[in-house]
Structure 1
Amino acid sequence: MRIDGASPTIMFAHIGNRNIISMLKGTTLALVMISVILIFALRSLRVGGLSLIPNLVPMGMAFGLWGIFVGEVGLALSVVTGMTLGIVVDDTVHFLSKYLRARREKDMDRENAVRYAFSTVGTALWVTTLVLMVGFGILAFSHFQLNAGMGLLTAITLGLALIADFLFLPPLLIYFGGKKS
């Protein structure tokens, strides 16, 4: 004898499962398309390829931390990668565009180009990230758990993205960022 269960809990479990799988596929496709666009926009296969790393690492780290401390990814959390992807990529693009401007137009070496990128966009990146983290962090105090989890994981992802752009991307650019001048 076989009985199929029917309840709102089972219904939302199936919806959440489908949503998580779809969001992962969609985010992966978006990252591939964004990387191709960045390769053409930045006119550099190497730098466009390097942009993938600081765009992927924050989301992986955030979900890893979430898995360690909470252990459950629900319906609301499955949208966090798609929602934060644009912000994470935007920060990386700003840093990379200033780096490439310094390399191409100002004829700086890799180390000085990284310093130039920090001096021109560094403050703007950390201020906007801080504002967004505080805004999404406020949602963590919501009594509605879907909003609370989504806000907290979004704030964590944005913070880790800033750390990746400031501490992980510069060494990558210094070691792999193009021909030495």
Structure 2
Amino acid sequence: MRKSKNLLNVAALTLALSVPGAAIAETIKSHVGGALYGSAIQVSGYSDDEFSGLALFGTGVINDNAGIRGVLAAQEHNDNSDVDSTILEGTVLFGSGLGTEGFKAYIGPGLFSDSFDYPGGDFDASGLHIMFGLGYNWSGVALDAWWSVRDVSDYEDELGVTVDGVASFG
């Protein structure tokens, strides 16, 4: 039940943030794309749990200094392919160069939902994150690299260990 509620909340936020880009396309640039995606969970006293996979993302640019981004990613554990993770992220972006050709840089707060499936169970982590990104816009094409740092409290509650950090990147 909690997993469904968390996924629905993040999906609704991501959809709500994405709709303005589609609804008023004349005034808002948008980018849709795919990415190589990874995340790492640093657990105190253990080796990092690292995941990798693919992501789809959409960015709606409100103006040159503000935008919104939604990400859907599917990953598997790098050392154990029986462990999968599905991630939803919704982020408000603030920066420079978001809507014009050339270099861009941005930062923004957002929400995430990370759902894990493994033999014998599953668990969900959700909360706040902050995204940092750099990129370059050409006419019709954009290249971005971003990194997000996540709130660790749900991971600690679910895993029962001290989590030093959780980050994702695309």
Work out which of the two has the higher radius of gyration on C-alpha atoms and give 1 or 2.
Answer: 1
> TM-score scaled by structure 2?
0.37
Q: Report which structure shows greater RCO (CA 8 Å, sep ≥6).
A: 1
> TM-score scaled by structure 1?
0.35
